Amino acid sequence: MLFTKMHGLGNSFVIFNQLDAAMEYQDYHQLAQIVSNVNFGIGSDGMILICSSNSADFRMRIFNEDGSEGENCGNGLRCVAKLLVDHKYITTSPFTIETLGGVMSVEVEDDDEKQVQYVTVDMGEPALLKNRIPMQGDPCTIAMNEPHSFGGDIYRLTCVSMGNPHAIIFVDDVNEVPLDKIGPIIEHSDLFPERINAGFVHVKNSREMDYRVWERGSGITMACGTGACAAVVAATLNDMLDRHLPITVHLPVGDLTVRWDENGHVWKRGKATYICQGELMIDTNSISSTIKEDDEKGGN
């Protein structure tokens, strides 16, 4: 199984291109766990499949580290767009990529050697109602700065779906948040029947914010593109930012530019980077058994 490993601001993915030939191995949920495992696989935050689509130019499927399938992934979209253009699967820009969260429009910017440097994605309109997150409570209301108890402490949540669900929490210093402890508590709370991504945000001024994230199904990651978009939407709703201005979102290893436009669409611009290419050759039966035993012991 030939693969390409890429990252968007440190958020890494093992990508399998199924446009030329479909993989024989079809248990994608198990395969995602295998390839994401740093000891027995390749090591990543998740797995991406590039497929053909009946409703867009291409289709992207994203699987988290725990094998669950996600609806959307902003960093993954940039990686897929770069790979498709660099390898001449498409020569026009913008073009469209289908996800479980909807069809996304992407536009690329080349360098002098015709390699993609930046990718801008139209992430569509955010969903705010609780039944769209989904979240317990009145389905036709919005969770905006809403207090809830997690781990014995009160956190005020603003919840946004960018095709996948995000709980945004504003703090004075994102680096002081015990993300490894509070992240899984929020993710698995009964408030969220399909679990949730937990993002912590410090708004520095009207044009900048810091952001850290615990991702549903993957844990702490270096970046989350949909989460950065949700953070800008949440901060705007809470009157911390001016609508329509481009906002620089500082993540642990780099920046994204996000803008919530006058038509209600959220735009995200950033880089995507190759790490390596190779061929995956593993005994899936023995490895999956080892991963299962590791999970039952509690992992690392």
- Of 79, 140, 159, 224, catalytic: 224
Strands (E), 65-94: 69-70
Q: Active-site residue 73, yes or no? A: yes
pLDDT at residue 70, as a whole number = 94
For the stretch 205-211, contacts whose Cβ atoms lie closer than 8 Å and that sit 24 or more positions apart, written own/partner, are: 206/241, 206/242, 206/245, 207/241, 207/245, 207/246, 207/247, 207/248, 208/247, 208/248, 208/249, 208/250, 209/235, 209/241, 209/247, 209/248, 209/249, 209/250, 210/174, 210/250, 211/174, 211/249, 211/250, 211/251
Strands (E), the chain: 2-8, 11-17, 46-51, 58-64, 69-70, 95-99, 102-110, 116-122, 146-150, 153-161, 165-170, 197-205, 208-215, 219-221, 247-251, 254-260, 266-271, 273-279
What is the third-level CATH fold of 130-264? Diaminopimelate Epimerase; Chain A, domain 1 (3.10.310)
pLDDT along the chain (300 residues), means of 10: 94 95 84 92 96 97 96 96 95 95 94 82 96 97 97 96 97 97 98 97 97 96 96 97 93 95 96 94 61 48
For domain 2-124+273-296, the CATH class is: alpha beta
pLDDT at residue 287, as a whole number = 56
Q: Active-site residue 159, yes or no? A: no
Give yes or no on whether 2-124+273-296 and 130-264 have one common fold: yes
Q: Show me where the domains of the chain are located.
A: 2-124+273-296, 130-264
Note the pLDDT tens digit of each residue in 170-219. 999 999 999 999 999 999 999 999 999 999 999 999 999 999 999 999 99
pLDDT at residue 26, as a whole number = 80
pLDDT at residue 297, as a whole number = 43
- Of 51, 73, 140, 276, catalytic: 73
pLDDT at residue 288, as a whole number = 54
Note the pLDDT tens digit of each residue in 55-94. 999 999 999 999 999 999 999 999 999 999 999 999 999 9
